[in-house]
């Protein structure tokens, strides 16, 4: 009796059904093994890291609040001080520096393995009173000293600095701030060169809002960055604040990021929040995240706060966690978009 003859063979159609089922099972197993969901991360920072990116949050002085700190620890891989590193907070009096708020955040980040964005060295807003009265070279020296001392204090600890914040108007002209009026067009280049000398390692960023597509303002910034890159002015990054609404038109958002990236700089979404709620809000968050992960040089996204509860625009519930630190629909949209980039 041969080994095969002792068993009755199943009828042909049964054998076929078994073969098909087995093939299906194998295909399913293979799909699971290689599908993005197989490596899907369950935190924003973890999901972003799969494609070599960070996902951060602006931090206000609420680290003593358990839910705030646990959410920040779990979800975010980068932090930025919402206010503690601004000029009014760090140099309240001429050449008298106060780094306590920023130092606390940098220490927290180091303890929890997170990177740090610096915000912001030179801005027309939140200047201490003594700066606003300065003119001509006194203002130039004060700006240079501020950049040198603050960037110098944090040198080697900041991944990216917002060196200059919000220097352009909607029509692409320069904002007529005290800095522009007193120092002329060269003040932005001056600020970047000073920052480079103070912290050679940090990515040096220009940061602004209303640049969420190709428009007169982003065109003007594009021309400036192109000129800087051509002349060797040390700029490494452009920040897109992206303070948005649920009906924001993002039709040229990705193209805009890509054209800046094509200049050889990183692009970063630096202050993302989206007024609104539900699916409309989630869709905007999804589009922004998908645009960033589609652009190789978009190396990270920062939302402008941990929870709606403490948002500067709290009434619009713009963030990914609600007042009770529950994940919102927008959270799931962002996580899915980050995980899909991992594949
Ligand atoms: O620290 C003082 C406190 O001592 C005082 O009692 C209190 C009441 O007057 O004010 C506190 O300072 C406030 C500060 O936030 C810290 O809470 C300022 O008044 C307030 O104007 C400041 O608002 C910040 C705003 O920048 C300043 O323009 C917001 O929190 C912050 O979210 C917002 O962030 C900016 C970015 O830096 C740049 N891009 C736009 C974005 C939104 O405006």
pLDDT higher than 90, residue 318: yes
Higher pLDDT, 105 or 36: 105
Decide: 317 and 277 in contact? Cβ < 8 Å. Answer: yes
Average pLDDT over residues 284-306: 98
**How many angstroms separate the alpha carbon of residue 167 from the centre of ligand 1?**
18
Could you report the per-residue pLDDT of 114-134, keeping only the tens digit for each?
999 999 999 999 999 999 999
Domains of the chain, earliest start first: 5-13+44-340 (3.20.20.80)
Sign of CA dihedral 219, 224, 227, 229: negative
What is the reported pLDDT for 73? 98
Express as a percent the part of the chain with pLDDT over 90. Answer: 88
Which alpha helices (H) appear in the chain, and where do they start and end? 12-34, 44-49, 66-75, 87-90, 100-111, 129-132, 136-153, 178-183, 187-198, 216-231, 253-261, 278-294, 329-342
Which protein residue's CA is at the shortest distance from atom 27 of ligand 1? 126
**How many angstroms separate the alpha carbon of residue 296 from the centre of ligand 1?**
33
Distances, alpha carbon 212 to alpha carbons 11, 62, 91, 187, in Å: 65, 30, 32, 25
Which protein residue's CA is at the shortest distance from atom 16 of ligand 1? 83
Could you report the per-residue pLDDT of 146-157, keeping only the tens digit for each?
999 999 999 999
Decide: 249 and 281 in contact? Cβ < 8 Å. Answer: no
Q: Which atom of ligand 1 is nearest to the CA of 120?
A: 37
Q: Which atom of ligand 1 is nearest to the CA of 86?
A: 37
Q: What kind and span of H or E run contains 203?
A: strand 203-208
**How many angstroms separate the alpha carbon of residue 118 from the centre of ligand 1?**
16
Query: Pick the catalytic residue: 75, 271, 316, 329?
Result: 271
What is the reported pLDDT for 26? 53
What is the reported pLDDT for 342? 73
What is the reported pLDDT for 14? 52
Could you report the per-residue pLDDT of 53-87, keeping only the tens digit for each?
999 999 999 999 999 999 999 999 999 999 999 99
**Ligand 1 pocket, mutate which of 83, 120, 314 (most atoms under 8 A from CB):** 83
How many residues does this entry show for the chain? 343
Could you report the per-residue pLDDT of 215-269, keeping only the tens digit for each?
999 999 999 999 999 999 999 999 999 999 999 999 999 999 999 999 999 999 9
What is the reported pLDDT for 5? 40
Q: Which atom of ligand 1 is nearest to the CA of 305?
A: 32
Which band of pLDDT confidence, cut at 50, 70 and 90, is reported for residue 299? very high
In angstroms, rounded to a whole number, what is the distance separating the alpha carbons of residues 257 and 255? 5
**How many angstroms separate the alpha carbon of residue 83 from the centre of ligand 1?**
6
**Which residues have a Cβ under 8 Å from the Cβ of 53 and sit 6 or more positions away?**
292, 293, 298, 299, 300, 301, 338, 341
Please give the full DSSP string across 82-143, using - where no structure is assigned: SSTTSHHHH-SBTTB---HHHHHHHHHHHHTT-EEEEEEEEESSS--HHHHT--HHHHHHHH
Express as a percent the part of the chain with pLDDT over 70. Answer: 88
pLDDT higher than 70, residue 107: yes
Which protein residue's CA is at the shortest distance from atom 21 of ligand 1? 126
Tell me the Cα Rg of the chain: 25
What is the reported pLDDT for 40? 87
What is the reported pLDDT for 38? 52
- Mean pLDDT for all residues in the chain: 92
Please state, as a whole number, how many other Cβ atoms lie within 10 Å of the Cβ of residue 86. 24
- Cβ < 6 A, ligand 1 pocket: 82-83, 125-126, 165, 241, 271, 312
Q: Clarify whether 271 is annotated catalytic.
A: yes
What is the reported pLDDT for 343? 63
Higher pLDDT, 106 or 15: 106
Please state, as a whole number, how many other Cβ atoms lie within 10 Å of the Cβ of residue 104. 15
**How many angstroms separate the alpha carbon of residue 307 from the centre of ligand 1?**
16
């Amino acid at each position: 009796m041969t080994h095969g003859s002792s068993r009755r063979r199943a009828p042909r159609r049964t054998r076929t059904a078994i073969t098909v089922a087995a093939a299906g099972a194998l295909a399913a197993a293979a799909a699971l093994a290689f599908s993005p969901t197989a490596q899907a991360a369950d935190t924003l920072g973890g999901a972003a890291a799969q494609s070599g990116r960070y996902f951060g949050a602006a931090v206000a002085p609420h680290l003593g609040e358990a839910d705030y700190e646990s959410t920040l620890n779990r979800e975010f891989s980068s932090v930025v001080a919402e206010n503690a590193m601004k000029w009014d907070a760090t140099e309240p009096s001429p050449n008298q520096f106060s780094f306590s708020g920023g130092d606390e955040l940098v220490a927290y980040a180091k303890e929890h393995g997170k990177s740090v964005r610096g915000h912001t060295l030179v801005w027309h807003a939140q200047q201490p009173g003594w700066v606003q009265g300065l003119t001509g070279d006194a203002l130039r020296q004060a700006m240079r000293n501020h950049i040198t001392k603050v960037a110098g204090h944090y040198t080697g600890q900041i991944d990216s600095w917002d060196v200059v914040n919000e220097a352009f108007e909607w029509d692409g002209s320069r904002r007529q701030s005290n800095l522009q009026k007193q120092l002329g067009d060269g003040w932005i280049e001056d600020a970047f060169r000073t920052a480079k000398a103070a912290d050679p390692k940090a990515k040096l960023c220009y940061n602004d809002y209303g640049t969420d597509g190709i428009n007169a303002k982003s065109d003007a910034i594009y021309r400036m960055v192109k000129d800087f890159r051509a002349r060797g002015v040390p700029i490494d990054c452009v920040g897109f604040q992206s303070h948005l609404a649920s009906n924001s038109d993002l039709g040229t958002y990705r193209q805009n990021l890509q054209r800046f990236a094509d200049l050889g700089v990183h692009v970063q979404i630096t202050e993302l929040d989206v007024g609104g709620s539900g699916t409309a809000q989630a869709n905007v968050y999804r589009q922004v995240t998908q645009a960033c992960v589609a652009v190789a040089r978009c190396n990270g996204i920062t939302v402008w706060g941990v929870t709606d509860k403490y948002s500067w625009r709290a009434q619009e519930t713009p963030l990914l966690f609600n007042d009770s630190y529950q994940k919102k629909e927008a959270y799931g949209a962002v996580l899915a978009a980050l995980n899909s980039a991992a594949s």
